[in-house]
Structure 1
Amino acid sequence: MIRILLLAAIFAALALLAYIRLAPSDPARWHEDPRLVTRPNTPNFHLIRMVGGDAMPQVFQMTPEELAERVDEVARADGATLLAGSVRELHMTYISRTPLMGYPDYTSVVIEPAGEGAMLLAFARARFGRSDMGVNRARLERWLAALDRPALTE
């Protein structure tokens, strides 16, 4: 009897892990505008925007189109995949997965003109759980730091 319960518990755990890893991502639900999103009640996100964010946007000395291309390059180099939007639209949402368990995190980015340059507004959040242990903030900080470096194709 104990063996059956143990096997059932293992099967249930594996089924849960498979669901987390393989659950479909609905672009209509996850492709959000960081300027308009309501702050979640959970601490598993990081928001970069002018008002009500966790950090202020940084201005980059490039056109909005160039910044969008660089963001896409940096995100993909970091292992993220594009879920919705496009570089052309200056609004993209990426899925990043944790290395071991494959938990999905979503990062929505909007690029806006800012004087002679462009700025990145972003909303990074976890799909599952209440805490992300700072992973989304760290990802955005890593992307911002990479944007300050020369392009990979130069």
Structure 2
Amino acid sequence: MKLVFGLVLLALVAGAAYVRLAPTDPKHWHGMPQSVSPGDLDGGAVRVVSGDLAALDAIIRATPRTQVLAGDVAQGMITYVTRSRVFGFPDYTTVRQSGAQLEIYGRLRFGKSDLGVNAARIDGWLQRLGQAGG
């Protein structure tokens, strides 16, 4: 019985370590879908709004456990990684300036459903953006 418990515990620790330490390839995550249609997805969300990338970038960079993976304001597209508080699950959000519009694509890396976390995070950023701009 102790052996089974030990193996289960080892598997959980190994899984948690993989989630936190798995390498992230910017070539894979720093991009947008061919077609951007606003809405919620099983594993993320897409939003298209009027706005300025530099202003939203400042808001996103102030988000706890969030860092830039690739891109910058000058390039017109930035991808961020935000990790969950307890287990460190990474979510990727790519923001692209397209004329006067911001296209925002947030998605999970592991699993099939984010339980609305990406949509809520993006909507919170956009609410702050609206407050900062208005």
TM-score by length of 1: 0.78
Bigger radius of gyration = 1
What number of residue pairs does the alignment pair up?
129
Question: Do the aligned partners of residues 137 and 128 (structure 1) sit closer, same or farther apart at CA in structure 2, a change above 3 Å counting?
Answer: same
In 2, the alpha carbon distance for the partners of 1:7 and 1:37 equals 47
- The amino acid across from 2:113 in the alignment is S
In the alignment, does 2:102 pair up with 1:120? Answer: yes
Written as runs of structure 1 = structure 2, the 5 A alignment for 1:4-23 is 4-23=3-22
Question: Do the aligned partners of residues 11 and 38 (structure 1) sit closer, same or farther apart at CA in structure 2, a change above 3 Å counting?
Answer: farther
In 1, the alpha carbon distance for the partners of 2:95 and 2:26 equals 14
Q: CA deviation at 1:150?
A: 2.5
Q: CA deviation at 1:37?
A: 5.6
In 2, the alpha carbon distance for the partners of 1:90 and 1:146 equals 20
In the alignment, does 2:58 pair up with 1:76? Answer: no
Where does structure 1 differ by over 2 angstroms across 4 or more consecutive aligned residues? Answer: none
Q: CA deviation at 1:119?
A: 1.6
RMSD, aligned α-carbons: 1.8
Q: CA deviation at 1:127?
A: 0.2
In 2, the alpha carbon distance for the partners of 1:148 and 1:127 equals 28
Give the share of equivalent positions with the same residue, in percent. Answer: 35
Q: CA deviation at 1:90?
A: 1.1
Written as runs of structure 1 = structure 2, the 5 A alignment for 1:1-150 is 2-34=1-33, 36=34, 43-48=42-47, 57-60=48-51, 67-79=52-64, 80-113=66-99, 118-150=100-132
Q: Counting helix residues as a fraction of each chain, which structure ranks higher?
A: 2
Q: CA deviation at 1:33?
A: 2.0
- The amino acid across from 1:89 in the alignment is Q
Q: Counting strand residues as a fraction of each chain, which structure ranks higher?
A: 2
SS of the residue corresponding to residue 150 of structure 1 reads helix
1:33-82 per-residue CA deviation (whole Å, 9 max, x = no partner) reads: 24x2689xx7111012xxxxxxxx2223xxxxxx2211211111112210
In 1, the alpha carbon distance for the partners of 2:36 and 2:126 equals 23
TM-score by length of 2: 0.89
